[in-house]
């Protein structure tokens, strides 16, 4: 743990993970406790480092519960999560102690939608299989039936979760001439639908040879796409999951093994960093280590927005992206 300006009588701020270039420097006027590592702090280290802090800048790997809040003590005023989601935070415990919670919405929309399309293209065109074949050194030859994939042009696209990211995914579908249908808890206003068709969930699944899941995780959506619902999808369908916990990963592996799904791609896992062995065993599973927002520009924007919230609270102002009202379980996005 690196301390910056630790002798000055200034508000203490704990940053629990290395931030994108140029972001942490904005906090050096504080008593900055900076964990300059890509690995999370151990629990004991986290509790010790939080003591006496006015703000915690956390990531999804940091469990912010009553124990951590009490370790920080009465000086704590803000938990600034470096993510859209706040499923790692006990909102009731924060509210009971008068601690605000903020997140980083909006700034990762485009990069995450780009990643969804990267995964979709990799899955439908079997890029992972092809690269592994070449790197293995095994003999191969072009043939009319060699590594045949699924063509996206004109294929119906289903989107489960038509929030900012879902709508950005839909915009990109226009370039492929793909008609878009979606399911949301509530139907969007016509101007936000962008011509997409709203369907009940089971009807969406049954009519989507390609499905992208961007719905937030909460009590109602956990394992919403389970084995029974995957079975509703057309035989040979392709599924892309961008949100941990909404899609049952074991069910995806089973559907790949049976051949019901042609391919699947997952960027965000329910028990990260663990990935189900059954999913790892599937050749047609494209697996990415939570890269949805992993561009320099986006991670800088996320870090700067988290810092904006910290600086606002330290100045006695309202955090600009406060989570309000606190959701029972927020979306665990990148």
Tens-digit pLDDT profile for residues 63-108:
999 999 999 999 999 999 999 989 899 999 999 999 999 999 999 9
Per-residue b/e over 289-304, b at no fewer than 16 CB within 10 Å?
A: ebebbbbeebbbbbbb
pLDDT computed for residue 330 by the predictor: 38
What is the distance in angstroms between the CA of the first residue and the CA of the last residue of the chain? 24
pLDDT computed for residue 4 by the predictor: 58
Do 158 and 181 contact (CB within 8 A), yes or no? yes
Highest CATH level, class, for 2-107+296-314: alpha beta
- Tell whether the model's pLDDT for residue 332 goes beyond 50: no
- Tell whether the model's pLDDT for residue 328 goes beyond 50: no
Per-residue pLDDT of 110-163, as tens digits, reads 999 999 999 999 999 999 999 999 999 999 999 999 999 999 999 999 999 999
pLDDT computed for residue 295 by the predictor: 97
pLDDT computed for residue 326 by the predictor: 46
Report the percent of the chain where pLDDT is more than 70: 94
- Tell whether the model's pLDDT for residue 186 goes beyond 70: yes
Backbone angles phi, psi at 8, to 5 degrees: -85, 140
Token pair belonging to 114: 């780009």
Beta bridge partners of 147: none
Token pair belonging to 196: 């997409």
2-107+296-314 and 109-287: identical CATH topology: yes
- Tell whether the model's pLDDT for residue 2 goes beyond 90: no
pTM of the model: 0.89
Q: Which whole number is the average pLDDT over 294-302?
A: 97
Token pair belonging to 242: 């961008």
CATH architecture for the domain at 109-287: 3-Layer(aba) Sandwich (3.40)
- For the chain, the domains span 2-107+296-314, 109-287
For residue 20, the SS3 value is coil
Interatomic CA distance for residues 288 and 242, integer angstroms = 10
In which band, very low, low, confident or very high, does the pLDDT at 325 lie, cut at 50, 70 and 90?
low
pLDDT computed for residue 327 by the predictor: 45
Q: Which whole number is the average pLDDT over 314-331?
A: 75
Per-residue pLDDT of 211-251, as tens digits, reads 999 998 888 999 999 999 999 999 999 999 999 999 999 99
């Amino acid at each position: 743990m690196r301390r910056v300006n630790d002798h000055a009588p200034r508000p203490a701020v704990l940053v629990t993970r290395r931030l994108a270039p140029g972001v942490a420097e904005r906090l050096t006027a504080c008593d900055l406790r900076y964990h300059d590592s890509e690995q999370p702090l151990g629990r004991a280290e986290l509790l010790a480092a939080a003591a006496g802090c006015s703000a915690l800048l956390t990531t999804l790997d940091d469990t912010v519960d009553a124990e951590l809040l009490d370790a920080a003590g009465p000086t704590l005023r803000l938990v600034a999560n470096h993510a859209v989601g706040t499923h790692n935070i006990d909102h009731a415990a924060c509210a009971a102690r008068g601690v605000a919670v903020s997140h980083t919405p909006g700034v990762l929309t485009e990069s995450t939608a780009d990643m969804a399309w990267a995964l979709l293209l990799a899955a439908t065109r079997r890029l992972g299989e092809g690269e592994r074949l070449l790197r293995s050194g095994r003999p191969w030859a072009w043939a009319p039936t060699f590594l045949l994939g699924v063509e996206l042009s004109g294929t119906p696209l289903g989107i489960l979760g038509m929030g900012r990211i879902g709508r950005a995914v839909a915009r990109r579908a226009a370039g492929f001439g793909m008609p878009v249908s979606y399911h949301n808890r509530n139907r969007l206003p016509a101007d936000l639908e962008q011509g997409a068709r709203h369907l009940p969930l089971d009807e969406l699944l049954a009519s989507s040879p390609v499905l992208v899941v961007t719905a937030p995780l909460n009590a109602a959506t956990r394992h919403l796409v389970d084995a029974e619902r995957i079975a509703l999808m057309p035989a040979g369908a392709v599924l892309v999951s961008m949100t941990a916990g909404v899609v049952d990963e074991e069910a995806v592996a089973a559907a790949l093994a049976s051949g019901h799904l042609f391919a699947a791609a997952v960027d965000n896992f329910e028990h990260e960093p663990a990935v189900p062995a059954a999913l790892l065993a599937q050749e047609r599973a494209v697996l990415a280590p939570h890269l949805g927002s992993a561009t320099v520009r986006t991670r800088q924007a996320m870090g700067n927005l988290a810092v904006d919230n910290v600086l606002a609270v330290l100045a006695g102002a309202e955090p600009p992206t406060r989570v309000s009202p606190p959701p029972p379980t927020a979306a665990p996005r990148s």
